[in-house]
Amino acid sequence: MLNDEEVKTGQIADLDLQALWMPFTANRQFKKNPRMLVAAEGMYYTAKDGSKIMDGTAGLWCVNAGHGHRQIVEAVQQQVAKLDYCPGFQIGHPDSFELAGRLADLAPSDLNHVFFANSGSEAVDTALKIALAYHVVRGEGGRQRLIGRERGYHGVGFGGISVGGMVNNRKFFGSLLPGVDHLPHTHDLGHNAFSRGEPGWGAHHADALESLVALHGASTIAAVIVEPVAGSTGVLLPPQGYLRRLREICDKYGILLIFDEVITGFGRLGASFASQHYGVVPDMITMAKGMTNGTVPMGGVLVRKGIYDAFMEGSDSGIELFHGYTYSGHPLACAAANAALDVYLKEGLMTRAAELHDYWEDAVHSLRGLPHVIDLRNVGLVAGIELEPRPGGPGERAFEAFLSCFEKGVLIRTTGDIIALSPPLIIEKKEVDQLFGTVAEVLRSLA
Ligand SMILES: Cc1ncc(COP(=O)(O)O)c(C=O)c1O
């Protein structure tokens, strides 16, 4: 661990970077020119050279209350000294029950049971397994088919990449889960470029579910999983009416609807969950990231009462669901999550994205007309800036923008040729100006 002097001065003994295989990273590029962060507070990281880097992405969409929030830090410190670990199988600790109750209260409608995991990927696999098992316990075990969506991102477990639709995340990893099909994605620049908020065109893409039902038979389909707003693929917003239409078709055929809210949960769109923002209630919600403000890994699945109840049959002493993780409901994660919820509620962060919406939207669309910008998208405190790919070098332009913004003291995120922004929800207007000012300057300078 770095000592205080090293953090303050950035003078750190040279590290050998070779042993670490970094995730979703151009390892050789990074190791030639490392971008190393050593501390963080509020809206800012401190880089190895002591410079401040504004966090335009809330880490990876997770640090909603800003970095190093004292209340969350202290809750975790106290918990590790009090109860460092407790098994979650056949034993419990009070904080996990308290947290589950609080999450159930936040959730829409009767999604009032929670299963804990340790990441978004685990939350997704858990939800898919619950969907399959639910149909089995109800005597409809023929419902084994899972439906995802092109360009969807549901983490990196085999379940998640099977229902996911980002080609590079799938194509190296064999034949994946059998019996999976995909809805078409809804991205259409021809009809929807430069929409403010949800695009007006494209709700009919939900009707592709009718076609899949016709093709496979409703009695074979267990669940549909979508991100209400697709983040990792480059900020794709649902066309107006699309999610409601999906809900109606799922209801018509007894298919469970899962919203993957790993990035949209905990205030990102201006409500606790995207489900409330869009007024559409799914059967399960997956969550992670903002759950603990990114401090301790945690994920979970919110489940409707009827699903939970379907499992609570038979002998009282029989295990109802053969699934769980050593760290499900880990005491440190629960302490962090309970403290994060306190902070989100006390500081009004669940609704702050709604309050800043107009200012943010105008800032996003102020980039219109800058070189290479072919679309701008916004919802809550999320922005997608789509760049024209360089001929023969897809993704290069956005990656150069990322490197250049970092040099100028702003952390952005890119996927392909799309820049995705999702700052901590504590961002102030002057920081919104700084963020978009830097992005604009960089866009002007790119070849
Ligand atoms: C919608 C969605 N689902 C799942 C995941 C996976 O989460 P994790 O990286 O915690 O496994 C992500 C991560 O970005 C996500 O955006």
Q: Residue 62: which of 226, 230, 282, 296 has the closest Cα?
A: 296
The answer to whether residue 407 scores a pLDDT higher than 70 is yes
Average pLDDT, the chain: 97
Ligand 1 atom with minimal separation from the 119 CA: 10
Ligand 1: distance of its center to the CA of 170 in Å? 15
278 and 143 within one domain: yes
Cβ atoms 413, 405 nearer than 8 A:
no
Residue 314 pLDDT? 85
Checking phi first, is residue 33 left (phi over 0); if not, alpha (psi -120 to 50) or beta? beta
- CA 4 – CA 9 distance, rounded (Å): 9
Compute the average pLDDT of residues 112-121: 98
Is residue 7's pLDDT more than 70? no
Q: Which of 263, 266, 268, 286 to mutate for ligand 1's pocket (most ligand atoms within 8 Å of CB)?
A: 263
Percent of the chain at pLDDT exceeding 70: 97
Largest CA distance in the chain: 68
Q: Which residue's CA is minimally distant from atom 13 of ligand 1?
A: 155
Mean pLDDT of 232-260: 98
Tokens found for residue 158: 């085999």
Best residue among 25, 154, 166 to mutate for probing ligand 1, ranked by most atoms within 8 Å of CB: 154
Q: Which of 74, 57, 75 is nearest to 66 (CA)?
A: 57
Are 223 and 342 in a shared domain?
Answer: yes
Residues 120 and 77 in one domain: yes
Tokens found for residue 247: 């809900």
Domain count, the chain: 2
User: In testing the pocket of ligand 1, which one of 166, 232, 266 has its CB within 8 Å of the most ligand atoms?
Assistant: 232
Handedness of CA 116, 120, 126, 130 (dihedral sign): positive
Question: Does one domain contain both 47 and 111?
Answer: no
Q: How does residue 13 score in pLDDT terms, banded at 50, 70 and 90?
A: low
pLDDT tens readout for residues 364-387: 999 999 999 999 999 999 999 999
pLDDT value of residue 2: 67
Examine the domain organization and report whether 266 and 175 are in the same domain: yes
* Rounded mean pLDDT, 393-413: 97
Residue 31's pLDDT is 96
- Nearest ligand 1 atom, CA 260: 1
Question: Among candidates 211, 209, 189, 210, which has minimal Cα distance to 201?
Answer: 189
Residue 5 has pLDDT above 80, yes or no: no
Taking only the tens place, the pLDDT of each residue in 142-189 is 999 999 999 999 999 999 999 999 999 999 999 999 999 999 999 999
Together in a domain, 8 and 126: no
- Determine contact, residues 165/130, Cβ cutoff 8 Å: no
Q: Which of 261, 289, 382 to mutate to test the pocket of ligand 1 (most atoms within 8 A of CB)?
A: 289
* pLDDT average, residue stretch 259-283: 98
| Residues 257, 338 within the same domain | yes
What is the spatial distance between Cα 275 and Cα 248, in angstroms, rounded to a whole number?
15
Nearest-atom index, ligand 1, CA of 264: 1
- Sheet (strand 52-55) strand order: 37-41, 44-47, 52-55, 410-411
pLDDT value of residue 145: 98
Residue positions counted in the chain: 447
User: What was the pLDDT predicted at 38?
Assistant: 97
What is the arithmetic mean of pLDDT over 289-293?
98
CA-closest candidate to residue 118, choices 276, 336, 264: 336
**Confidence (pLDDT) at 14:** 73
pLDDT of residue 227: 98
Domain boundary pick from 325, 346, 367: 346
- Domain containing residue 337: 73-346
pLDDT of 311 over the 70 cut: yes
pLDDT of residue 9: 56
Q: Could you tell me the CATH number of the domain that includes residue 370?
A: 3.90.1150.10
- Ligand 1 pocket, residues with Cβ under 6 angstroms: 119-121, 124, 153-155, 227, 231-232, 260, 262-263, 288
Q: Can you give the pLDDT at residue 191? A: 98
- Assess whether 281 and 306 both reside in one domain: yes
**Of the residues 293, 315, 346, the one at which a domain ends:** 346
For residue 152, give the ligand 1 atom closest to its CA: 1
Give the nearest ligand 1 atom to 160 CA: 4
**Shared-domain flag, residues 295 and 411:** no
**Domain end marker among 346, 366, 400:** 346
- Give the mutation target among 116, 153, 259 for probing the ligand 1 site: most ligand atoms within 8 A of CB: 153
Q: Both 271 and 151 in a single domain?
A: yes
Are 332 and 356 in the same domain? Answer: no
Does the pLDDT at position 203 exceed 70?
A: yes
Distance 369 CA to ligand 1 centre (A): 32
pLDDT at 8: 61
Order of strands, edge to edge, in the sheet holding 373-379? 373-379, 382-387, 418-421, 413-415
Together in a domain, 383 and 299: no
Q: Is the pLDDT reported for residue 428 higher than 70?
A: yes
Of ligand 1's atoms, which has the minimum distance to the CA of residue 122? 11
- Residue 10 predicted with pLDDT over 90: no
The percentage of the chain sitting over the pLDDT mark of 90, rounded to a whole number, equals: 96
199 Cα to the center of ligand 1, angstroms: 24
Q: What is the CATH number of the domain that holds 97?
A: 3.40.640.10
Query: How far does residue 155's CA lie from ligand 1's centre (Å)?
Result: 4
What 3 state SS string does the chain have?
A: CCCHHHHHHCCCCCCCCCCCCCCCCCHHHHHHCCCCEEEEEECEEEECCCCEEEECCHHHHCCCCCECCHHHHHHHHHHHHHCCCCCCCCCCCHHHHHHHHHHHHHCCCCCCEEEEECCHHHHHHHHHHHHHHHHHHCCCCCCCEEEEECCCCCCCCHHHHHHCCCHHHHCCCCCCCCCEEEECCCCCHHHHCCCCCCCCCCHHHHHHHHHHHHHHCHHHEEEEEECCCECCCCCECCCCCHHHHHHHHHHHHCCEEEEECCCCCCCCCCCCCHHHHHCCCCCEEEECHHHHCCCCCCEEEEECHHHHHHHCCCCCCCCCCCCCCCCCCCHHHHHHHHHHHHHHHHCCHHHHHHHCHHHHHHHHHCCCCCCCEEEEEEECCEEEEEECCECCECCHHHHHHHHHHHHCCEECEEECCEEEECCCCCCCHHHHHHHHHHHHHHHHHCC
| Atom number, ligand 1, closest to the C-alpha of residue 261 | 1
pLDDT higher than threshold 60 for residue 11: no
